[in-house]
Structure 1
Amino acid sequence: MQLRFECHLTGADYVTQQGWLSATLPCCPLHPHGDCGFARHGTYERVSPPGTRVARWYCPEGHRTFSLLPDCLAARLSGTLSEVEAVVRAAEQAPSLEALCKHQRLDIELPGALRWVRRRVQDVHGALHRIKGVLGDTFANVAPTLTAFADHLEVEPVLVALRGIAAAWLDVLPKPLGFAPRRRRGRSALPRLQHRAGPDPPGCPA
């Protein structure tokens, strides 16, 4: 299970300063009164930014791991929230995704680049729709785009700011902003009980 690590470092600074060493989780989220064997459980590595690690804890009684994801990192997408935001902002302003992909992910062919960009646009716009639902009084008249949210909040980067603004709702907000579990076809969205150990899968970022 991912939890928020309130952290004002950029992705590069988080790596340089080894920000995961300062992450703390004082008690077990499942057993706040203790006596469950809750303890730090090392770290796991992320592909990007290179050198990134995320602090992790384990509850033996609940058979569940917990990790503290810093505000700079995207949830269930490789890279930082600012990097994701840059792609989506560019897509919102581009004449077409095909035109944008001439300058994005030049290491892969156009169909793959389109999927890569489209996935980020859909994920971010989906998260903004959900934020409008849970924070309707604040964002009722704001279009579910990063451009509109930036104008309304007068802040950049928008996604990093929104993780703090919507902190109480992160468990129901989808990636890359929140930590809501994946929905599986034909099944309800049940939380995963365990993080996989070790680094992210090899190969190109998702």
Structure 2
Amino acid sequence: MQLRFACEDTGAEYVSRKGWQQATLSRCPLHPQGGCRFARHGTYARVSPPGTLITRDYCPDGHRTFSLLPDCYAARLSGQLSEVEAVVRAVEQAPSQAAACVGLRLDIELPGVQRFVTRRVQAVHQALVVLKGLVPERFGRCGPTLLAFALVLGVSGVLVALRGLAEPWLQQLPTPLGFSPRRQPGGGRDRARQHRAGADPPGLMA
């Protein structure tokens, strides 16, 4: 289960200062009253930026791992929310999504770029629609686009700002902004991926 780690760092800053060493949970989310065997569960690596490690905790009584994802990182996508936002904004400002795709991801063929872009645009716009319903007094009158939300919030980095503002609903909001598992065909969801117990590799806690 992913949880928010409130953090103002960019990905590079998080790696540089080894931010995972400061990411901790004071109590078990399943047993806030205590009494379980809640403990640190090492870390796992993310591909981008290189060197990124994410803190994990584990409740053996509840058979659940908890990972603390910094605000700058996209949930269940490689990279950062700022990178996702750049793609979605490019589409919102282009004459069409096809036109926006031409200049993106030159390392893969155009059909792959279109799938890459469509996944991000749909996920972000879906999250914005949900937020409009959850916070109508603030977002009810704006369109479900990053450009519209940026005007309301008065910020350039909309997704990172929303990660904090929408903290009470992150388990309901779709990834990459929120932490809700992806829906599967037939109405099911991905099972929460649990990590094997294990210590950090030598030197990581230095």
TM norm structure 2:
0.91
Q: Does residue 156 of structure 1 match 2:156?
A: yes
- 8 Å CA contact 1:129, 1:144 repeated in 2: yes
Q: Does residue 38 of structure 1 match 2:56?
A: no
Q: Does residue 171 of structure 1 match 2:171?
A: yes
What is the identity percentage for the equivalent residue pairs of Structure 1 and Structure 2? 65
Aligned length: 198
Higher relative contact order (CA 8 A, sep 6+): 1
Amino acid at match of 2:162: L
2:111 matched to which residue of 1? 111
Partners of 1:124 and 1:9 lie apart in 2 by: 21
1:54 shift after superposition: 0.5
- 8 Å CA contact 1:172, 1:178 repeated in 2: yes
Change (3 A) 1:108 1:184: same
Change (3 A) 1:169 1:110: same
The runs of 5 or more residues in structure 2 that have no matched partner are 199-206
- 8 Å CA contact 2:4, 2:71 repeated in 1: yes
Deviations 1:165-203 (A, max 9, x none): 1111111011111111222233455862624789xxxxx
1:2 shift after superposition: 0.3
Amino acid at match of 1:57: D
Partners of 2:12 and 2:193 lie apart in 1 by: 30
Deviations 1:20-78 (A, max 9, x none): 11001011111112222110000011111111110000111111100000000011111
The runs of 5 or more residues in structure 1 that have no matched partner are 199-206
> Which shifted more, 31-40 or 135-144?
31-40
Deviations 1:53-107 (A, max 9, x none): 1000011111110000000001111110011001100110111222222211100
1:72 matched to which residue of 2? 72
Q: Does residue 18 of structure 1 match 2:18?
A: yes
Amino acid at match of 2:41: H
Tell me the secondary structure at the aligned position of residue 101 of structure 1.
helix
Partners of 2:181 and 2:6 lie apart in 1 by: 20
1:96 matched to which residue of 2? 96
2:83 matched to which residue of 1? 83
TM norm structure 1:
0.91
2:131 matched to which residue of 1? 131
Change (3 A) 1:195 1:156: farther
Partners of 2:196 and 2:92 lie apart in 1 by: 34
1:194 matched to which residue of 2? 194
Amino acid at match of 2:120: R
Tell me the secondary structure at the aligned position of residue 42 of structure 1.
strand
Tell me the secondary structure at the aligned position of residue 144 of structure 1.
coil
Tell me the secondary structure at the aligned position of residue 24 of structure 1.
coil
Tell me the secondary structure at the aligned position of residue 58 of structure 1.
strand
1:202 matched to which residue of 2? none
